[in-house]
Amino acid sequence: MENLSNCQLLNKPIVAAFDFDGTMTKHDSLYDFFKYSAGSLETYFIFLQHLPKFIGFGLKIFSRKDLKESLFKSFFKGMSIADLRLKGEDFANNVIPKLLKKESIAKLKWHKEQGHRCILVSANMDVYLDYFTKNNQFDDCLCTKAAFDEKGLVTGYIQGKNCRGEEKVHRLTELLGSKENYTLYAYGDSDGDKELLELADYPFYRVFKS
């Protein structure tokens, strides 16, 4: 595939960073997770109740984080984080494989065969992405994290920042240090991946079709 001779001559480790929703998957997975967890009917009614917030988001009154936290509160607030993770594990095992693009998995496999460090960098939630990354032998998972209280109950809030845009670069830098220390391949499909793709030596935008 790619000619890596220049990278090898520089003797830098190679990192492949993959966005998840829309890059590795055919569409956003969070709605599917809500539906899998709560059922189609309840999911429909909760989304209907959130219509003003969706409109507010479109008008830039609410942020993506605001909308995501509001939905998480409606679906999961008060649930134990252990139970939510069980739902996430089931979802990762039973639903995500049906959502994946074959080309994205083939590219992940190729990077792993070359001995590259493979990292998932996603704005979606750790409660199922942690299991997806283990199932597919990623080296690291950088994503948005669900918050829980001292009793281990889900609050509906996000720990820290939504892992999108500049936050993807921040998380990657926290993990790996200066960009000078490695060569980066990055795969993304939206404006939320813009900064990550700009950081990359080899950026790939919407390259996986199926």
pLDDT higher than threshold 70 for residue 51: yes
Q: Residue 210: inside a domain, yes or no?
A: no
Domains: count for the chain? 1
| Structural element, H or E, at residue 32 | helix 30-38
Query: What is the model's pLDDT at position 11?
Result: 82
Give the domain extent around 163. 5-205
Q: Enter the tokens of residue 111.
A: 């990077």
The pTM assigned to this predicted structure is 0.93
Is residue 110 in some structural domain? Answer: yes
Q: Which two tokens stand for residue 49?
A: 């109740």
**N-term to C-term CA, the chain:** 19
The predicted pLDDT at position 182 comes to: 97
Strand bridging mode 154-159 / 140-148: antiparallel
- Per cent of the chain over pLDDT 70 is 95
Tokens 């492949």 locate to 16
Share of the chain above pLDDT 90, in %: 94
Confidence check: pLDDT of 5 > 70: no
For the chain, the C-alpha Rg in angstroms (whole number) is 18
Q: Is residue 80 part of a domain?
A: yes
User: Is residue 31 assigned to a domain?
Assistant: yes
Label the pairing between strands 140-148 and 14-18.
unpaired
Q: What mean pLDDT, rounded, does the chain reach?
A: 95
What number is the average pLDDT over the span 124-141? Answer: 98
User: Would 200 be classed as within a structural domain?
Assistant: yes
pLDDT, one tens digit per residue, over 168-209 is 999 999 999 999 999 999 999 999 999 999 999 999 999 999
What CATH number corresponds to the domain at position 165? 3.40.50.1000
Q: What is the pLDDT of residue 10?
A: 62
Condensed to tens digits (0 to 9), the pLDDT of residues 73-107 reads: 999 999 999 999 999 999 999 999 999 999 999 99
